[in-house]
């Protein structure tokens, strides 16, 4: 007798569960909600490709053909003047344009050293005519950092819209999420960028000539 009651009770539980699942499916269909894919189904979902293979290959050249770089930079931070950039790995030295070329004060500096990995920045005076040589002060990393020629190449979306010659070098004009870039076709780095109505220029580029002593203070 007890066994019959147990079987009868089990059948009722199964019927209730089946009805609940059917009702949930109907509700999902009526509300337009889609069931979430399981782990195996999620593996089949491919990420959207926002960069064409040929453009991705172009940007990859900056990683395979350039280990370090020097260039002169002109942008919103410099006005019509230029800053000099030395970059090797995460180490960066900027020689900012000094409107008043006097280094005779204790706080005067002519170089800014940045460590991108450690997110640190500091000003130094290195010239032989510095009244006081060496480190001056630690700087706010976010305020001291200026997007480098490599940063502009780190895009999420890109579409080629033309080809132009800049500084006697062939470039692809590419619309990206960062702005419009004119990318050197050999090295895969931008020679020019435009974003939010501002223009950024990278000139007199010299690749693979920067030494450790160029980006380490006191070397």
Nearest CA-CA partner of 75 in 201, 182, 203: 201
Q: Where are the domains of the chain?
A: 53-215
The whole-number pLDDT of residue 103 equals 78
CA–CA distance, 30 with 157 (Å, rounded to integer): 37
Give the tens place of pLDDT for each residue, 71-105: 999 999 998 899 999 999 999 999 998 765 667 78
Terminal C-alpha separation, the chain: 94
Contact between 115 and 139 (Cβ < 8 Å): no
- What average pLDDT does range 130-145 have in this prediction? 93
Give the tens place of pLDDT for each residue, 9-41: 555 545 555 545 555 444 344 444 444 444 444
Range from 28-37, 140-149, 185-194, 196-205 carrying the lowest mean pLDDT: 28-37
- Which CATH entry fits the domain spanning 53-215: 1.10.10, 2.50.20, 3.90.25, 1.10.3470? 2.50.20
């Amino acid at each position: 007798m007890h066994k019959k009651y147990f079987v009868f009770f089990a059948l009722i539980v199964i019927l209730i569960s089946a009805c609940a699942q059917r009702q949930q499916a109907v509700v999902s269909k009526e509300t337009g909600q889609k069931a979430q894919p399981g782990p195996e189904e999620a593996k089949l979902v491919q990420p959207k490709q926002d960069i064409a293979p040929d453009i991705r290959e172009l940007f990859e050249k900056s990683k395979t053909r350039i280990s370090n770089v020097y260039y002169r930079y002109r942008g919103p931070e410099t006005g019509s003047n230029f800053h000099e950039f030395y970059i090797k790995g995460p180490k960066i030295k900027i020689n900012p344009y000094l409107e008043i070329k006097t280094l005779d004060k204790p706080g005067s500096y002519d170089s800014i050293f940045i460590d991108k990995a450690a997110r640190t920045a500091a000003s130094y005076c290195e010239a032989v005519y510095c009244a006081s040589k060496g480190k001056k002060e630690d700087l706010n990393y976010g305020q001291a950092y200026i997007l480098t020629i490599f940063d502009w190449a780190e895009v999420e979306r890109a579409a080629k819209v033309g080809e132009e010659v800049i500084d006697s070098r062939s470039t692809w004009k590419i619309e990206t999420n960062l702005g419009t870039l004119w990318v050197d076709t050999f090295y895969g780095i931008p020679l020019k960028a435009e974003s939010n109505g501002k223009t950024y220029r990278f000139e007199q580029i010299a690749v693979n000539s920067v030494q450790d002593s160029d980006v380490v203070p006191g070397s």
